[in-house]
Amino acid sequence: MNPLLLASTSRYRRELLERLGLPLETARPDVDETPAPGEAPAALAVRLARAKAAEVAVRHPGRWVIGSDQVAELNGAPLGKPGTVEAAQAQLAAMSGQSVAFHTAVSLQCDGRVLEACDLTTVRFRVLQSDEIARYVAAEMPLDCAGSFKCEGLGITLFEAIENSDPTALIGLPLIAVARLLREAGYLLP
């Protein structure tokens, strides 16, 4: 089989996928990530994962392409990547003492065949003080992360609990679902 093609330049997703020990290459997808009016966060994650995989698959016929996207949801509204220190601090302040849903979708595609999954992780944030938020953002600069934290780093200190069935999903790629989809596609995994 040809190497799996990851439709992402995220180092987090690449590092996770490398755990499976499969030959891997990456390609940057060219996809508009703007939510549609009224689009539910889970639907947005699935649509973007599908669009990323499809866009790269068109350029690489005969290759299995995996696209993924994660959308954080607070009180029914999607939270994007903050991009700035101020936006990250505002997101964390809004999530203080709240439960936040993280929808992590995966789409595996090759020549019109599509296999998909979407994982739900719920994070309960502890009550956060503004000085804690400022120290955390300065320490990890999570400006490219949905929800403004890195759970594999200091971000774990912001939580009371994480509820999910796949611990890798919150980092950005639900490997349990990915492994299942890859086996369906014919990849040999343990």
Pairing of strands 4-6, 65-74: parallel
- Region at 152 (left for phi over 0; alpha for psi -120 to 50; beta for the rest): alpha
Residue 126: its pLDDT value, please? 97
Q: Which of 33, 31, 32, 8 is nearest to 18 (CA)?
A: 8
Using only C-alpha atoms, what is the Rg of the chain?
17
Residue 81: its pLDDT value, please? 87
At 148-161, the pLDDT tens digits run 998 888 999 999 99
Instruction: Kindly list the catalytic residues.
Output: 69
At 34-72, the pLDDT tens digits run 999 999 999 999 999 999 999 999 999 999 999 999 999
Please tell me the pTM assigned to this model: 0.91
Residue 148: its pLDDT value, please? 93
Contact status, residue 185 vs residue 115, Cβ threshold 8 Å: yes
Residue 189: its pLDDT value, please? 86
Kindly list the distances between the CA atom of residue 46 and the CA atoms of 1, 29, 35, 52, 67, in Å, as whole numbers in the listed order. 26, 15, 11, 10, 10
At 85-142, the pLDDT tens digits run 999 999 999 999 999 999 999 999 999 999 999 999 999 999 999 999 999 999 999 9
Residue 102: its pLDDT value, please? 94
Return phi, psi of residue 168, to 5°. Answer: -85, -15
pLDDT at 10 over 80: yes
Residue 46: its pLDDT value, please? 97
Residue 146: its pLDDT value, please? 81
Those residues with Cβ within 8 angstroms of residue 112's Cβ, 6 or more apart along the chain or in another chain: none
Token pair, residue 46, equals 């699935």
Residue 108 CB-density burial (10 A; 0-12 exposed, 13-18 middle, 19+ buried): buried
User: Distance between CA 4 and CA 47 in Å, rounded?
Assistant: 21
Q: How confident is the model at residue 2 (pLDDT cuts 50, 70, 90)?
A: confident
Q: How confident is the model at residue 20 (pLDDT cuts 50, 70, 90)?
A: very high
Residue 62: its pLDDT value, please? 95
Q: What CATH class is the domain 4-185? A: alpha beta
